[in-house]
Chains A and B, each alone.
Chain A
């Protein structure tokens, strides 16, 4: 094995720095309507493209495929859906929303054509599987973000 050469770094100072970069992102009219509905009615809304019939969740103002204007075509999708894919986060970091291990999943809600990313809780990460039926559990306190849905939980029959 090659021997690692180490430069002498004694008396080489490292200047500490910290950048706080506050930002704000505008949800837009369609995105805001989506949040209002989550927050006030606990209903998940999508938009349906009259041209290609795709139902988009979260909503968008124009269809990304044919540029048809969509925001008049609200449809309510179910608060239930299936896990379309998932992964298990095993490491901890400041920017992550939960302590590891936790499940991040793409959830295809009933009636939607696009999946949304969210947390699945209430099941052992070893036991989660594609096709698992889950239901939205809403947050107690609103943040006016996608985290107004706290997580998705398996549906117990």
Chain B
């Protein structure tokens, strides 16, 4: 049994630079920059686009139904358009929707748009805080600024080792961001600064310091998806969307409702996705992993969850440099989310950056060795996960 009615490939990718200084562009203009870049990349015109999927964080810029205004930049005039907003996962959910819309046979060519202009947003953290149960928990929490995974990591591996690995991981991400011309925060950090950063970076909540936390960025990411036959005609380097999975686990949140720590949504997603695709050793199989890592502590803990590792294997990978851009399994060669976080575009940028690595078109942060199998994750809301598998070649075996 095939999972899809027909195969789907990514045939065009456009991203703006991610930054917090886009006073020179309004929202539709910023989106339009990425739309034009994606069309150019695919060598297509608007006439070739059958359907548009658009999304960002609900109400972050306090514009209700922004897809209407944004028609000025999206090119959706006179075309079917869907709006999708699933918190931090939005960009990846849009990828899933575009994949489904093409695979189903409904449309041949679908353009997916994720954007955010956090520089225009009132207060992201106050906004995220408003996700909480409005009656009993909203007064008493700190939004995405959380130390929970830091505490768990320290409890398990000791403060010294955990803090040291976390800051090494953060510096590695910055080293990748520094060579990515589209990345927002490029500090040019060196490993020798670890000791200093661990002490001087402003503390936020618990063990979480400012240096560990993601940026607030503006930017847009656009991807064009096409059915197999069209994809082969459009692109000499189509990147195939092999499979995707979405998992939501509300009971993860802060143990407010839970009695024991359940399996994380990341672990559930990876376990199921890999099983149904016959992947028994993800570290061995994948050549690149673009992970939605909203903070260093989350990101480091989630290496274990996504790659189905046990014990301290994930910490050892950080310590040994296995996740560096020239390591065994390069993690976020783009610099990841601690470097750039235009939220509604962020999860799509993970898929886009992984696809660019498979094409060999990432730019200065291209992985040197051949990249054939890609993994990209989205994260958001009250523990939601989207996980997407990409392939350079259309040669995988279906597993039931």
Task: List residues of chain A with CB under 8 Å of any chain B CB.
Answer: 1-2, 4-9, 12-14, 17, 19, 23, 25, 27, 31, 54, 58, 64, 84-85, 87-91, 93-97, 104, 106, 113-119, 145-147
Give A67 Cβ to nearest chain B Cβ, in Å: 15
Cα–Cα distance between A2 and B183 once the two chains are bound (Å): 10
With A1-B188, A7-B22, A14-B23 given, name 9 new contacts (CB 8 A): A27-B135, A31-B135, A87-B206, A89-B142, A91-B205, A94-B123, A95-B123, A97-B139, A118-B140
Contacts of B254 in A (CB 8 A): 106, 117
Cα–Cα distance between A7 and B20 once the two chains are bound (Å): 11
Q: Which of B354-368 contact A (CB under 8 A)?
A: 364
Cα–Cα distance between A103 and B146 once the two chains are bound (Å): 13
The reply to whether A146 and B139 contact each other, CB–CB distance below 8 Å, is yes
The reply to whether B259 and A94 contact each other, CB–CB distance below 8 Å, is no
The reply to whether A95 and B126 contact each other, CB–CB distance below 8 Å, is yes
Nearest A residue (CB) for B203: A90
Contacts of B179 in A (CB 8 A): 2
Interface size on B, residues (CB 8 A): 41
The reply to whether B256 and A25 contact each other, CB–CB distance below 8 Å, is no
Contacts of B145 in A (CB 8 A): 91
- Among B129, B140, B178, B255, find the residue whose CB has the most chain A CB atoms closer than 10 A: B140
**Chain B positions 1 through 43: 1 when the CB is less than 8 Å from some CB of chain A, otherwise 0:** 0000000000000000100011110000000000000000000
**Chain B positions 108 through 151: 1 when the CB is less than 8 Å from some CB of chain A, otherwise 0:** 00000000000000110110010000111101111001111001
Cα–Cα distance between A106 and B147 once the two chains are bound (Å): 13
Interface: B257 (CB within 8 A): yes
Give A39 Cβ to nearest chain B Cβ, in Å: 15
Interface: B72 (CB within 8 A): no
Contacts of B62 in A (CB 8 A): 17, 19
Contacts of B364 in A (CB 8 A): 2
The reply to whether A96 and B257 contact each other, CB–CB distance below 8 Å, is no
The reply to whether B24 and A87 contact each other, CB–CB distance below 8 Å, is no
The reply to whether B140 and A117 contact each other, CB–CB distance below 8 Å, is yes
The reply to whether B23 and A9 contact each other, CB–CB distance below 8 Å, is yes
Interface: B194 (CB within 8 A): no
Q: Across the A-B interface, give the 6 residue pairs with the lowest CB-CB distance, nearest first.
A: A1-B188, A90-B203, A87-B206, A12-B23, A9-B23, A25-B134
Interface: B262 (CB within 8 A): no
Task: List residues of chain B with CB under 8 Å of any chain A CB.
Answer: 17, 21-24, 62, 122-123, 125-126, 129, 134-137, 139-142, 145-148, 151, 178-181, 186, 188, 202-206, 254-257, 259, 364
The reply to whether B205 and A89 contact each other, CB–CB distance below 8 Å, is yes
The reply to whether A87 and B21 contact each other, CB–CB distance below 8 Å, is no
Contacts of B141 in A (CB 8 A): 104, 117
The reply to whether A2 and B23 contact each other, CB–CB distance below 8 Å, is no
Give B219 Cβ to nearest chain A Cβ, in Å: 13
Asked whether A145 and B139 contact (CB < 8 A) given A87-B205, A90-B204, the answer is yes
The reply to whether A12 and B24 contact each other, CB–CB distance below 8 Å, is yes
Nearest A residue (CB) for B186: A2
- Among A1, A25, A88, A117, find the residue whose CB has the most chain B CB atoms closer than 10 A: A117
Contacts of A145 in B (CB 8 A): 135, 139
The reply to whether A96 and B142 contact each other, CB–CB distance below 8 Å, is yes
Cα–Cα distance between A87 and B126 once the two chains are bound (Å): 18
Contacts of B178 in A (CB 8 A): 1-2
Cα–Cα distance between A90 and B205 once the two chains are bound (Å): 5
Nearest B residue (CB) for A125: B206
The reply to whether B125 and A93 contact each other, CB–CB distance below 8 Å, is yes
Cα–Cα distance between A87 and B205 once the two chains are bound (Å): 7
Partner of B140, one of A4, A13, A85, A146: A146
The reply to whether B135 and A25 contact each other, CB–CB distance below 8 Å, is yes
Cα–Cα distance between A75 and B146 once the two chains are bound (Å): 32
Contacts of A14 in B (CB 8 A): 23
Cα–Cα distance between A4 and B147 once the two chains are bound (Å): 31
Give B59 Cβ to nearest chain A Cβ, in Å: 9
Cα–Cα distance between A104 and B143 once the two chains are bound (Å): 13
Contacts of B146 in A (CB 8 A): 87
Contacts of B148 in A (CB 8 A): 87
Give B141 Cβ to nearest chain A Cβ, in Å: 6
Nearest B residue (CB) for A13: B23
The reply to whether A4 and B142 contact each other, CB–CB distance below 8 Å, is no
Contacts of B136 in A (CB 8 A): 31, 58, 116-117, 146
Nearest A residue (CB) for B155: A130
